[in-house]
Amino acid sequence: MPATPIAAVQRYYPKGSLKWIFVATIANKSLVTRAEINSGTDLTKQVAAWSGFTTSTQFVNTPDANSRFTSKITGDIEAEDSSLTIYLDPSGNDARQLMPQDTIGYILRMDAGDVPGRRMDNFPIQVGSVGKPFEMGDAVVGVFSFAITDEPAQNIAIPA
């Protein structure tokens, strides 16, 4: 008897539905409330690019004297260096006021939009730096570099 196939999925392209939300405080990172989401700031319209916001696992070699094969076990989990590139306003009335260096909070990433029942990832962050890489002929942006300060809560349900 053949293996049961995985259920078909509705494929989607995140551009146009993806949401990036900054929230200053969240009581339980794995159980974000609608009130906490609504208290945040939707950065999406000003986000030009992003990097990171993923985790990876380190693997630990576990050799033994009875085999030439070296097996592995899972070890530490770490977050990749993460950043959001955000458009800046000449007045300074932009994300620099919301998230100056050393700001602590949370970045919520909703890959398929802010739709109750869909999934989001919650990254506890601290702003490490805000760089301004000026390029001739490009719009001025700030690169907000984040330290992921605790294990992210991933694939949590978006509340109604």
* Domain regions of the chain by residue span: 19-157
When pLDDT is averaged across residues 94-120 and rounded to a whole number, the result is: 96
> Can you give the pTM of this predicted structure?
0.90
Question: How far apart, in whole angstroms, are the C-alpha atoms of residue 98 and residue 83?
Answer: 15
At residue 38, the pLDDT reads: 98
Confidence of residue 16 (pLDDT cuts 50, 70, 90): confident
Between 1.20.950, 2.30.110, 1.10.10, 3.30.160, what CATH number should domain 19-157 receive? Answer: 2.30.110
When pLDDT is averaged across residues 1-9 and rounded to a whole number, the result is: 93
Looking at every residue in the chain, the average pLDDT score rounds to 95
* 152 in Cβ contact with 124 (< 8 Å): yes
Confidence of residue 71 (pLDDT cuts 50, 70, 90): very high
Could you report the per-residue pLDDT of 122-141, keeping only the tens digit for each? Answer: 999 999 999 988 888 889 99
